[in-house]
């Protein structure tokens, strides 16, 4: 199996590449080549099958044809301009998130019509395809009403993915990933950043700020679950529930590092997001996720937390 990952430098892309290299298999078959692509050349994961690492701009004319020249059997299309950037840069967002995806789909269709090429295509979509007003939980049948250009772009590609699949040009699946908690690394400026921050920073002995009320609910999964099974299901929890779990794992010293500082601007954004899902179709397909925040924290400590900065066991 030849595997192509577009957007291999992202958090999910890098973890997916490492996971596939370690397993050496995908969909029950041996991986013979693992091709990693991003705007700057990715680093090959250690061990595993032969990897090539290429820098490529998927918005450039002809790039898609080049990427599928060796007919990868499985393509993970994770490349995207993020939600904040796509809202700032209207034209750029459509160019990267819609036009480049369609160019990829068109290159595959042309190859399909030439030689019957029909790869498996996994597309990373987003909960941003949904927007208020929303029922709680959100059913699979909920209309996509994105409140951002990013969400609109993801919803458009979901529709294209379905139509190209129905036509038989490729075998596509779109997965809307839950908000990933606990993201490794430094705090970022995203409106959703605090969902990871209120767990990650206190675990490292650092202070953290909570910009919304403890009642705020959201849909979470660990990066491991997102990579291991490309999970759509997630875990519905409130921010207060996250903090309670932090305290169970790391003691009151950890939860005391969180400063509650309500920010009306962030609350307004968060309030339009879905809070929980009823992912009946994904569950029927065998997708799973964590069932408690305690598990999310355990996954983080095992997979991602800096080993020299786990101060919680000493302090609690």
Interface ranges with a second copy (CB under 8 A): 90, 109, 135, 140-147, 149, 152, 155-156, 159-160, 162-163, 166-167
| 299: DSSP letter | H
Q: Nearer to a second copy by C-beta: 97 or 179? A: 97
Cβ pair 230, 213 in contact under 8 A:
no
**Minimum separation from the CB atom of position 163 to a second copy (A):** 4
**Distance from C-alpha of 13 to C-alpha of 77, rounded to nearest angstrom:** 9
Contacts of 235 (CB under 8 A, 6+ apart): 178, 219, 220, 221, 289, 290, 291, 292, 293, 296
Q: Nearer to a second copy by C-beta: 35 or 152? A: 152
**Minimum separation from the CB atom of position 161 to a second copy (A):** 10
Residue 117 known to be catalytic: no
Closest to 222 in 3D by CA, of 150, 116, 303, 125: 303
Q: Nearer to a second copy by C-beta: 128 or 182? A: 128
Of 94, 117, 150, 164, the active-site residue reads 150
**Minimum separation from the CB atom of position 142 to a second copy (A):** 6
Instruction: For strands 50-55 and 217-221, give the pairing.
Output: unpaired
Contacts of 11 (CB under 8 A, 6+ apart): 180, 183, 184, 223
Q: Nearer to a second copy by C-beta: 152 or 192? A: 152
**Minimum separation from the CB atom of position 82 to a second copy (A):** 16
Task: Tally Cβ neighbours within 10 Å of residue 23.
Answer: 13
Residues with catalytic roles = 150
């Amino acid at each position: 199996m030849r595997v192509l990952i577009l957007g291999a430098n992202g958090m999910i892309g890098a973890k997916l590449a490492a996971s596939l290299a370690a397993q050496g298999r995908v969909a029950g078959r041996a991986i013979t080549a693992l091709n990693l692509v991003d705007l700057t050349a990715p680093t090959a994961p250690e061990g595993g099958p032969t990897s090539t690492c290429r820098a490529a701009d998927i918005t450039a004319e002809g790039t898609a044809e080049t990427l599928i020249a060796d007919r990868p059997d499985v393509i993970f299309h994770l490349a995207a301009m993020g939600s904040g950037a796509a809202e700032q840069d209207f034209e750029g967002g459509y160019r990267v998130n819609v036009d480049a995806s369609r160019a990829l789909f068109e290159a595959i269709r042309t190859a399909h019509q030439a030689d019957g090429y029909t790869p498996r295509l996994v597309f990373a979509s987003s909960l941003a395809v949904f927007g208020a007003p929303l029922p709680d939980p959100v059913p699979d049948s909920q209309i996509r009403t994105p409140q951002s250009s990013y969400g609109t772009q993801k919803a458009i590609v979901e529709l294209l993915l379905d139509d190209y699949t129905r036509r038989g040009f490729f075998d596509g699946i779109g997965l809307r990933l839950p908000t990933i908690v606990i993201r490794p690394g430094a705090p970022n400026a995203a409106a959703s950043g605090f969902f990871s921050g209120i767990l990650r920073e206190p675990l490292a002995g650092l202070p953290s700020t909570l910009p919304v009320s403890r009642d705020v609910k959201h849909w979470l999964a660990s990066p491991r679950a997102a990579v291991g099974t490309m999970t759509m299901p997630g875990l519905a929890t409130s921010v207060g529930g996250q903090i309670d779990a932090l305290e169970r794992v790391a003691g009151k010293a950890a939860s005391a590092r969180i400063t509650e500082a309500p920010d009306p601007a962030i609350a307004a954004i968060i309030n339009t997001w879905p809070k929980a899902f009823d992912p009946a179709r994904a569950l029927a397909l065998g997708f799973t996720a964590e069932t408690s925040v305690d598990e999310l924290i355990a996954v983080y400590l095992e997979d991602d937390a800096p080993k020299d900065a786990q101060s919680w066991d000493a302090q609690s």
